[in-house]
Each structure stands twice: as C-alpha cells, then as structure tokens.
Amino acid sequence: MTEVTNQSLTHGNRSSKTFKPKKNIPEGSHQYELLKHAEATLGSGNLRMAVMLPEGEDLNEWVAVNTVDFFNQINMLYGTITDFCTEESCPVMSAGPKYEYHWADGTNIKKPIKCSAPKYIDYLMTWVQDQLDDETLFPSKIGVPFKRNFMSVAKTILKRLFRVYAHIYHQHFDSVMQLQEEAHLNTSFKHFIFFVQEFNLIDRKELVPLQELIEKLTTKDR
C-alpha cells in the first residue's frame, strides 16, 4: 500500500497529505446523501444532535457512512504528524506509560505482536481499509443488505481507530499544537466520542486511556 504524496505543511494551511488514500463514498449514492446530511448537521455546531440516527434511516448504513468518515479524518490527522511518529520516537504503540497495544488481525497475524507505533498504525489502517473496500461488508449499492456480523466488524474498526487518537493525544500532542491542529483534532475526537457513545460502539474499558479528556470534552454538552 503506497502513501499519498507527501505535501509540505505550510503555516496555517492544513496539509492534504493523508497516511493512506482517502476512502470515497460514491457520489449520487444514498450513502453520499447521508454523508452530506451528517456534514450539514455537524455545521450546526450541536454534535449530540449531529450523531443521532436520522429519521427513517437504517442504523447499519448510518454507522457505515460515519465509520468511513472517521477513517478519513484519522487518516488525515495522523498524516500531519507522521514525521514525528517514527521507529525511534515511538518504538512501541502506546497511549501514555500505562497502555501498550500489540497488533493482531486474526488472519495474517494471529498472535499479537509488539511493534513500533508507525508499524502498528500502518497495519491498523491497512486492515481498516481492507474492511471498508469489502463490498460484502460495506455495500455501496442501494438494496444490497449488510451482513449479520456488520455491527461487530464496525465496533472492532472503531475500537482500533480510537487507539490512533489515543496515541496522538498521549505521544504527539506537542507536535499537534506546533502545527496548530489541536482544534481540528479536538473537534474530530469529540465527534467520534459522541458517535460511539450514542450507539454504544466501544466498550468503556477501551476508552480509559483518554477518560479524563472524554469527560472534559463531553461534560459541557450534557
């Protein structure tokens, strides 16, 4: 899997570099309309409202569209700090001193392996991309039903994407601030947390590495 061409990050102008190629939702499809609806409601500034299932819509489809969107967001956020996340700076995939993640995908790597953060995130994003590209799991055509195990796959994807946020916050927040990306990161993460809370998509114990931040970001919106 090749990375998108690295574009230099100019001051005050967000780089369009992404870690992996962006996953596009086909224009004109129902999912594209749902994505536009999500973007419009996000623009209202009320994130709690923005994540709610639109009336008459299918929950699987709503989760699918948002999962693709979060993949793209995290892809872009991580893409801005890849120069700082190296084998040397991050020899293990961690979220602070207490939490370390080992990689396994159940097929290619069955036994969890300890690896550097850039390698772990490369494995993770490639794995997510493979799930999103699987038409049997994430059907893009109208009328194609979702598989019975779709929600459990989506939960695994979101649980793993959370780990990228956790790593960025714990290990690279200084770099994020230097790049003036903290507002973008906070808004993206807040949207992500409201969404997974709304539909109970990530076990609470998985969220512990960022528990204080989650409470801070969500308390004033209760």
Residue 167 known to bind ligand? yes
Average pLDDT over residues 180-202: 95
* Average confidence score pLDDT of the chain: 86
pLDDT of residue 24: 77
The sign of the CA dihedral 21, 26, 27, 29 is: negative
pLDDT of residue 93: 97
The share of the chain scoring above pLDDT 70, in percent, equals 87
Average pLDDT over residues 126-132: 95
Residue 115 known to bind ligand? no
pLDDT of residue 91: 97
pLDDT tier for residue 60 given thresholds of 50, 70 and 90: very high
Average pLDDT over residues 61-86: 94
Average pLDDT over residues 65-76: 94
Helix (H, G, I), strand (E, B) or coil at 50: helix
Helix (H, G, I), strand (E, B) or coil at 11: coil
What CA–CA distance (Å, rounded) separates 74 from 42?
17
pLDDT of residue 221: 58
- Amino acid letter, 213: L
For tokens 């224009």, what's the residue? Answer: 27
CATH 3.40.50.720 correct for 34-219 = no
Measured in residues, the chain has a length of 222
pLDDT over 60 (residue 84): yes
Between the CA of residue 147 and those of 25, 152, 219, what are the distances in Å? 19, 10, 36
pLDDT tier for residue 220 given thresholds of 50, 70 and 90: low
